[in-house]
Structure 1
């Protein structure tokens, strides 16, 4: 009979079918103690009850046990979902957020629980995501940066979190990439370098990270690549010399002479 333990309700009392209001369902074998029961403590059994009887979900949206309300939110018709945005338990609001029509998700944009806001950011209409650009949670902002229209990404270029800025750098328009060339995080600058047009890469010639300079050496315009033939990093030097072909040796010699006789 039991797959998760003895059948007790959310208060620890033994579940008894005798006083249950769902005698009709019991007779139709649409519920069963220890298997599919809305009064059970375990969410799996509650879920099975509503899976078999979704029409009963609307009757349990104010049940005192949060698991019942959260599971009911999975099965109730969408017209009853908006009332759950005000539920005191984040699990219920989180469950509702997975199915709420987009316009009703706005009520949860400033929800106190990050898991709820993450779901909201994942489903909200992209043009409404500007409301979440300054969310206090870094992962919420990552989701926002992944989905927000490109026209609004410029507002996130200076986000305090490097992962958020990395996402911005991977999507922002080409004309805005130079504005991120001096980002303090090397991984962000690497992403910027990978997306920059050859004519923009000279902005990263003196980058302190060899991975960025390697990208410059590999794709920048030839007249800028010359500066990297004697780079401190071997891979960068090789990439620059390979780009310049036979002229690399001459350029290397010229650079050496300039270093030896700066005047």
Structure 2
């Protein structure tokens, strides 16, 4: 028996107002004949973003004609393809997606003020592009997502100023980029995910500080990466997997030490 899904009708494409898409009065009839637009797949009149984007990707020269379209998705996608000289007027567009597209492309001098945009999408774009003091200032943004982008782009020497960020996701990113000589300061973070991020980068000898960590995931990393100073203290860990891993690694290190001593002249 054939599956009912095999015969399910494909939904008719609709425009941004929910009306059926029609090619009858479309100004791009010539493109359709050339295969550069295709109703239901590559169409600027469709409400689906992917189909609109395919249209502008194949016909970038048409983008400027749609910069004032009432559907914001069309304006945003057109702004990604149109001439820089034409998209400047969209810097104050009421839709954040459009402003974000403009912020991504215009020279920084023209969009620097968007670092204070009310929408985080726009500020996230600015955090990707700004440098120097302007970027460092974004570490104090009220939205964690913006700060997360900022800590991924600021120089590593600036990261200690973000170690006390209120959001653990931001602090995790700080721990992943922090210079090794400063990283031990994050071993006592209140969030275990931050301590895990730090433990994964510490030198084996430094992990002894975490043998008594309350989170078994942190102790597992110590058992997996720690040196002979840490492993004996984990052999009787309350978690059986942690203790088993510590004993296994300690035994392996002992065997290696014996072999090296035996082979020594």
* TM-score for the superposition, normalised by structure 1: 0.68
Q: Deviations over 1:210-235 (max 9, x none)?
A: 22223223333423433333222223
> 1:156 is matched with which residue?
162
> 1:257 is matched with which residue?
none
1:80 aligns to 2:82 (yes or no): no
> 2:99 is matched with which residue?
93
Structure 2: runs of 5+ lacking an equivalent: 1-11, 255-265
Comparing 80-89 with 153-162, greater Cα deviation is found at 80-89
State which structure, 1 or 2, has the greater radius of gyration over its C-alpha atoms.
1
* TM-score for the superposition, normalised by structure 2: 0.68
Partner Cα separation in structure 1 for residue 102 and residue 193 of structure 2: 37
Q: Deviations over 1:228-253 (max 9, x none)?
A: 332222233233333433999xxxxx
Partner Cα separation in structure 2 for residue 246 and residue 80 of structure 1: 67
Conserved? CA contact 1:217–1:239, under 8 Å: yes
Partner Cα separation in structure 2 for residue 230 and residue 247 of structure 1: 18
> 2:223 is matched with which residue?
217
Return the match for 2:129 from 124, 135, 153: 124
Partner Cα separation in structure 2 for residue 120 and residue 69 of structure 1: 19
Shift of 1:140: 2.4
Comparing 154-163 with 216-225, greater Cα deviation is found at 216-225
> 2:13 is matched with which residue?
4
> 1:187 is matched with which residue?
193
Alignment length (residue pairs)? 237
> 1:203 is matched with which residue?
209
Comparing 175-184 with 74-83, greater Cα deviation is found at 74-83
1:168/1:50 Cα in 2 relative to 1: closer, same or farther (>3 Å)? closer
Structure 1: runs of 5+ lacking an equivalent: 249-263
Q: Write the mapping of 1:1-263 to structure 2, written as runs, cut at 5 A.
A: 4-5=13-14, 29=30, 42=47, 54=60, 57-58=63-64, 61=67, 66-67=72-73, 69-121=75-127, 123-125=128-130, 127=132, 128-245=134-251
Partner Cα separation in structure 2 for residue 198 and residue 51 of structure 1: 50
1:169/1:105 Cα in 2 relative to 1: closer, same or farther (>3 Å)? farther
RMSD value, Cα: 4.1
Partner Cα separation in structure 1 for residue 136 and residue 232 of structure 2: 43
SS at structure 2 position matched to 1:236? helix
